[in-house]
Chains A and B, each alone.
Chain A
Amino acid sequence: MTSAADTLLEVARSPLGLLGITLGGYQAGRWLLRRTGDHALAQPVLVAVVVAGGAITLLGVEYADYRSATEIVAFWLGPATVALAIPLHRQVDRLRGFVVPLLVAVVLGAAASISSGVLLARWLGAEQALEETLAAKAATTPVAIALTEPLGGIPALAAVFAITIGIVGAVAGPATLHLLRIRDRRARGLALGAVSHGVGASRMLREHETEGAFAGLSMGLSALAISVLLPVLALLLW
């Protein structure tokens, strides 16, 4: 009896088992989303993270081992990011008359995100390393990691902050934009892509193609704006 349980645990801890848990968690999230009539909290990414995170904690699997087992899933993020050009291609007419607002908004947003994150953390007594780690969180994860290291922050933690703020955006983005009375679909996508990068875009794509398209564009432009502004603002902030 114990040997059967041991075998089961062994399979669950294997790369295939971890992959199965991840896909199963994602499908459970999709099922929950349908069952709850698109409840904001039932984001498949959130459900899958809770399921898989809980599972590796219970199974005693190291995150590094989980990560290499699910590399096959994470790999598709690259081609999917390239594919964000497709909704943008279909929505390109809606860029007319919006290029100047778009560029100004993204640059101001990057500056606001960096400085408000750093100053809020400082006000609450965080150490400088933590302030530096919080600065780039609105950028898409690889950019946040790359920017945090030269600044003196902790790159692995910056990745955690970036993905967390992405999930926050997927859950709370549309409702918050409603409260802020931002109704233009282009501005809505632009705003959420700027603060919650690709994870925000994934939520917006399900809301409306225009919102998804502008969130994808905004993710790219914001990564660029944050990269350029961060070294400059660092001189003022520290």
Chain B
Amino acid sequence: MILGLTWLVAFQLLGEVTVRLLDLPVPGPVVGMLYLLVFLRLRRPAAGAPVLRAGDGLLRHLQLFFVPAGVGVVAYLGVLGDDWLPITVAMLGSWLVALAVVGWTAVGLERLLGEPRDDQPRTAR
């Protein structure tokens, strides 16, 4: 477990260094993700490799790691005050617009380029 976590932290560090040296506008862990992907493509570790076990273990509980930031929302609720209506509509409205734009563009271009793969998921809950 610790060996795998060490790998993940090492790729995160590599990402942080890259972001700072090149002054990139994305977070270090996102660049670290890219490095890990390249590493996995090149080395193709076996199914039970420490880095895969540790990574899968963390991803199972990805939601937990957002909780401290999420509690900040509760702390801020009072500040919204009179602006709650424009905030709520702008948030939900633009979320829906962008969700549809990304989804429909991707599916539409796929059809246009001749490689549609409609794998119908089971009915939504």
Binding site for B on A (CB under 8 A): 22-23, 25-26, 29, 38-40, 43-46, 48-50, 52-54, 56-57, 63, 66-67, 70-71, 73-74, 76-89, 92, 94, 96-98, 100-102, 104-106, 108-110, 112-113, 116-118, 120-121, 124-127, 130, 134, 137-138, 140-143, 146-147, 156-157, 159-161, 163-170, 173-180, 182-188, 190-192, 194-196, 198-199, 201-203, 205, 207-208, 212, 216, 218-220, 223-224, 227-228
Contact assessment for B98 and A184 in the assembled complex, using a CB-CB cutoff below 8 Å: no
Check B21 for interface membership: any CB of A closer than 8 A.
no
What string of 1s and 0s marks CB contacts (under 8 Å) between B97-125 and chain A?
11111111111111001011111110111
Contact assessment for A108 and B102 in the assembled complex, using a CB-CB cutoff below 8 Å: yes
A/B pair count, beta carbons within 8 Å: 356
Contact assessment for B67 and A25 in the assembled complex, using a CB-CB cutoff below 8 Å: yes
Binding site for A on B (CB under 8 A): 5, 8-9, 11-12, 15, 25-30, 32-37, 40-41, 51-52, 54-56, 58-59, 61-76, 79, 83, 85-87, 89-110, 113, 115-121, 123-125
The distance from the CB of A79 to the nearest CB of chain B, in whole angstroms, is 4
A-B contact pairs, 6 of them (CB 8 A): A67-B71, A88-B37, A120-B93, A143-B25, A173-B99, A183-B121
Complex contacts, B100 vs chain A, CB 8 Å:
180, 191
Chain A to chain B: the 9 pairs with minimum beta-carbon distance, closest first: A53-B74, A83-B55, A178-B124, A227-B25, A97-B115, A109-B102, A101-B109, A117-B94, A81-B29
Contact assessment for A184 and B110 in the assembled complex, using a CB-CB cutoff below 8 Å: yes
Complex contacts, B29 vs chain A, CB 8 Å:
77-79, 81-82
Interface of A is mostly: helix
Contact assessment for A180 and B99 in the assembled complex, using a CB-CB cutoff below 8 Å: yes
Contact assessment for A100 and B95 in the assembled complex, using a CB-CB cutoff below 8 Å: no
